Structure formats: C-alpha cells, structure tokens
Amino acid sequence: MATSGDSDRFEASVAQAASWLVEAQSVLFVTGAGVSADSGLPTYRGVGGLYDDVPTPDGMPIEQALSGEMLARDPKLVWKYMLQVARAVEGAAPNRAHEVIAEVERAKPRVWTLTQNVDGFHRRAGSRNLIDIHGDLSQMTCTRCPHRYRIESVDDLGPYLPPFCNQCGADIRPEVVLFGEFLLEEKVQRLREQLERGFDLIFTIGTTSVFAYISGPILQSRVRGTRTVEINPDQTEVSDIVDLRITGRAATTLDAIWTRCQAD
C-alpha cells in the first residue's frame, strides 16, 4: 500500500530528475517493454509477461517459437506468433511516456532513444533519433531479394503464411531480431557513435536490462560521470548502479518530470 512517505519520496525524486533534465543538453533514453506496458502491451518477463513459464499452444517456450532457428525450420509457426504480437500492437497506441520522450527530443539539442521495443511506438510518437536495436515489426524485408517495405496494418500482408515477396516470390519477414539472431551492425554502429560522443543524462525506463548493450551505457556512466535515472516499479540489473531510482510507472513518472521541467 502506498503511504504519504512513498508519495513524498516520489515527488522528491521527480524534482531531482527534473532539475537534471533542465540542465542537460544531451540525453539518452534507454527503453524496454515496461514503457509500452502503459499502452496495455504485455512485457516479456514478470507478471503477465510473454515469457512466463507457460509454453505456447505448440508446446514450446515462446523464446523457441520466436527464434531464428525456428524461422528457418518452420516459418509459418514463427509467423503465427509474430502476427499475435503485431495484432496486439495494432490494437494499442503510444502513451504519454512515448510522447514526453519525443517532446524532450524536440526541445533539447541532442536527444537519442535506444529501444528494445519492436512496436514502433517511439517513431509514431515523433522520436526521430531512434535506435530500435531489436527492429520494428512493421518493417518487412524479403529473405532473398533487397525488397523492403513498411506495412500500415497486418492485413497488408495478405492471406498467405508466410507472406511472400511481390517482387521475387520468396518469404518475407519483419526486420526484428529473433532469438539466436545477431543485432543489425548498422544499428550497433549508430549506438557506438552516439555513446562515444557521450551524454549529460541517461534515463533507463521499463527494462530489466538483461542484455549487455542495454546495461552498458549505465555501467559506462560510472567512469564517465554521466548522471543516470531509472524509472521502473521493480528492481532490475541496474537499479543499484543508477544515481537515482524512481519506483514508478513510465507514463505518469515521465509526465510528472516533464511537467516539472516546464514549470521551472
């Protein structure tokens, strides 16, 4: 149960984060599934998470169903689960957290967002300096020829599974990183370049930070002296490392911080 002490602590943390954000010229937002949880999408881990110990109706864990190996062996099965995720995304919309991040990008000289989310919500909310390190479910690519295109709706894929390329007839797939697949080198390079330039402030929001390239910017900040803020209702891999930990939800916390910044 929330107490008035909790609420005082939350307000004090919001004020601290807001004063750092006001001062910062360059900001990196690192985001994960928790940011889209406020849009009603499930997270991967934790309560209601997609990767909870329940196997898929096909009797395998979702990590196996959504793997690169399975795409080579049984693309129809992988597509079945990708379509479920894509339909959930289609039924949802960006929330206040995505909006605030895009507003901060417009207001400050240099703001980047590193997201693990494949829902495309940061782009839809207006973020342009975006590294969607796990890809975007609406971006399609042919598995044989260079044809690439973006879909507006799952219905654009047509009735066949796997959908096929209208240029060469081979299977198409979304440009997302499946289990066991490598990150796209071009995105890793863009991230490296931005991290080398450094940031005044890093927010890590709604991610358990299980991957080294996600916790890395926070770990590096200890030697670089970059300020770091975590927004997450739960403890994560980086909770004990950040300068300021705010135990709150992404949308309400970011909105409170940004409102405070504008009032200052």
Contacts to ligand OAD by CB under 6 A:
32-34, 37-38, 43-46, 49, 116, 134, 177, 206-208, 210, 231-234, 236, 249-250
Collapsing DSSP to helix, strand or coil, 203 comes out as strand
- Taking the least distance from each CB to ligand OAD, the nearer of 126 and 233 is 233
Give 242's contacts (C-beta < 8 A, 6+ positions apart): 204, 218, 228, 229, 230
CB 195, min distance to ligand OAD, A: 19
DSSP character at residue 67: B
Residue with the CB atom nearest ligand OAD in the bound state: 34
CA distance 140 to 205: 27
The alpha carbon torsion through 52, 58, 62, 65 (nearest 10 deg) reads: 170
Collapsing DSSP to helix, strand or coil, 147 comes out as coil
221 phi, psi to nearest 5 deg: -60, -25
- Taking the least distance from each CB to ligand OAD, the nearer of 195 and 231 is 231
- Taking the least distance from each CB to ligand OAD, the nearer of 70 and 165 is 70
17 phi, psi to nearest 5 deg: -60, -40
CB 132, min distance to ligand OAD, A: 10
Note whether 212 and 238 are within 8 A (CB): no
CB 235, min distance to ligand OAD, A: 8
- Taking the least distance from each CB to ligand OAD, the nearer of 134 and 187 is 134
Question: In angstroms, how far is CA 118 from the centroid of its own chain?
Answer: 7
Q: How many helices (H) and strands (E) does the chain have?
A: 10, 9
CA distance 25 to 97: 20
CB 75, min distance to ligand OAD, A: 17
CB 236, min distance to ligand OAD, A: 5
262 phi, psi to nearest 5 deg: -75, -25
CA distance 123 to 140: 16
- Taking the least distance from each CB to ligand OAD, the nearer of 111 and 133 is 133
List, by residue number, the catalytic residues: 134
